[in-house]
């Protein structure tokens, strides 16, 4: 992950993950990342958009869970740029061992972006979000936004292994909080 941070976002740069691992089983994806002393696990149903965020901070002996709904997802995305006008350019290159094609796209604020997509692999629909439904194939390098933070993600490896089943039920020992409460605990958040 590479980030393009605004001056206001710069103070949180050290807390942003540079790499994440995503596993999926059926419609549920599981992404794990380190954020400072915390291990954050995001489980999301990529079809109905329900989610569960698990935050483990072993040094502080804290475990929190945040349940998310489709309405929460849509509210979180409402301030992000809306992507459209996906156009295949015909330009090709290899990313990892995959044949990819370059696409250009725009947002509703007039900015332009590029992504690289492949037909060599098929990941569950919605795994990289609903932003790229206009793209043929699986995006392997793309720019997106999360809570106002612009990032470019590039697939570094893909391994087929047994996973799951994953559940959106809160595990025993986790204290349920809202995302707003978690952000307040971090000093206001973004």
Confidence of residue 128 (pLDDT cuts 50, 70, 90): low
Whether residue 15 has pLDDT greater than 70: no
Mean per-residue pLDDT over the chain, rounded: 85
Helix ranges (H only) for 40-129 are 70-77
Whole-model pTM: value is 0.73
* Rounded Cα gap, residues 141 and 139, in angstroms: 6
**68's tokens:** 């998310």
For 38-57, the pLDDT digits (tens) are 899 999 897 888 999 999 99
Bigger pLDDT: 189 vs 43: 43
Contacts of 26 (CB under 8 A, 6+ apart): 124, 164, 165, 166
Residue 190: predicted pLDDT: 45
For 111-123, the pLDDT digits (tens) are 999 999 999 988 7
What mean pLDDT comes out for the span 32-41?
86
List the one residue out of 24, 35, 29 whose CA is nearest residue 1. 35
Instruction: List the Cα angle 38/43/45 in 5-degree steps.
Output: 160
What mean pLDDT comes out for the span 119-142?
81
Q: Is the dihedral of CA 167, 171, 177, 182 positive or negative?
A: negative
**136's tokens:** 């043929």
């Amino acid at each position: 992950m590479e980030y393009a941070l605004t001056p206001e976002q710069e103070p949180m740069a050290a807390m942003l993950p540079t790499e994440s691992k995503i596993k999926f089983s059926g419609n549920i994806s599981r992404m794990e990342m380190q954020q400072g002393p915390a291990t954050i696990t995001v489980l999301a149903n990529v079809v109905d958009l329900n989610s569960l965020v698990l935050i483990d901070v072993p040094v502080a002996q804290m475990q929190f869970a945040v349940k998310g709904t489709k309405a929460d997802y849509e509210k979180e995305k409402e301030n992000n740029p809306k992507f459209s006008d996906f156009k295949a350019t015909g330009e090709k290159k290899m990313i990892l061992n995959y044949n990819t094609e370059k696409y250009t796209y725009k947002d509703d604020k007039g900015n332009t972006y590029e992504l690289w997509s492949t037909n060599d692999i098929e990941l569950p629909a919605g795994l990289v979000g609903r932003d790229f439904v206009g793209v043929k194939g699986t995006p392997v390098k793309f720019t997106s936004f999360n809570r106002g933070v612009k990032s470019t993600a590039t697939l570094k490896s893909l391994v087929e292994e047994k996973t799951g089943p994953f559940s959106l039920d809160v595990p025993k020992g986790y204290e349920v909080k809202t995302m707003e409460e978690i952000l307040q605990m971090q000093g206001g958040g973004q």
